[in-house]
Amino acid sequence: MGLLPKKDGSVGWLETERPVTEVDQSYEEFYAQVDTVLMGRKTYEQLITELSPVVYPYEDAESYIFTSKPEQTQGRRHFVNEAVTTVVKKLREQPGGVIWIVGGSSIVDPLISANLIDEYIIAVIPRILGAGVPLFRNVQWEVLLTQTDAYTKNGLTYLCYKKKADRGE
């Protein structure tokens, strides 16, 4: 899942220095399986203007940026004005690796409601913002999850879950 901004949309709080005391290859191991990245336009804009303005970090993956104002495809960056569920259903019919959602509730909620997310990995950063943008906003179904892992590295806690079963649809 993606990063969550403060209520005003800012993500600068992510740049807080944290001591690195342990070797953590979990991101590299996870990202090695990813071949497709999904995000909304706001997340994309924050990524290219604030978080990584010099180098697009997902250049080696197909990126689908969901926007009401599509642009021309730029390399492997596809700007689409389709429902995220439609795109994910098409992608799941093709051979490939992991589809990673790097975004908030506008991307996540429809996928949960359509029962299209198989695994959830949520990183907890030890900082209380007071108010912010929720990861889950308008989920229409209860989703049963089975915890597959939980670990802490360098002060961050990672919670890993798989979808327990389909809703019987």
Query: pLDDT tens digit string along 44-71?
Result: 998 999 888 999 999 999 999 999 998 8
**Domain contains 72:** yes
If we measure between CA atoms, which residue out of 146, 149, 141 comes closest to residue 167? Answer: 141
Residue range 9-19: mean pLDDT, rounded:
56
**Domain contains 13:** no
Q: Tokens in use for 131?
A: 């108010």
Residue 28: CB partners within 8 Å, gap ≥ 6? none
**Domain contains 9:** no
**Domain contains 12:** no
In this predicted structure, the answer to whether residue 110 has a pLDDT above a threshold of 50 is yes
CATH number at residue 82: 3.40.430.10
Q: Tokens in use for 87?
A: 């795109």
**Domain contains 107:** yes
Residue range 13-18: mean pLDDT, rounded:
56
Tally of domains in the chain? 1
Parallel, antiparallel or unpaired: strands 77-80 and 98-101: unpaired
**Domain contains 15:** no
Task: Print the domain residue range for 97.
Answer: 26-163
**Domain contains 155:** yes
Cβ atoms of 122 and 86 within 8 Å: the answer is no
**Domain contains 1:** no
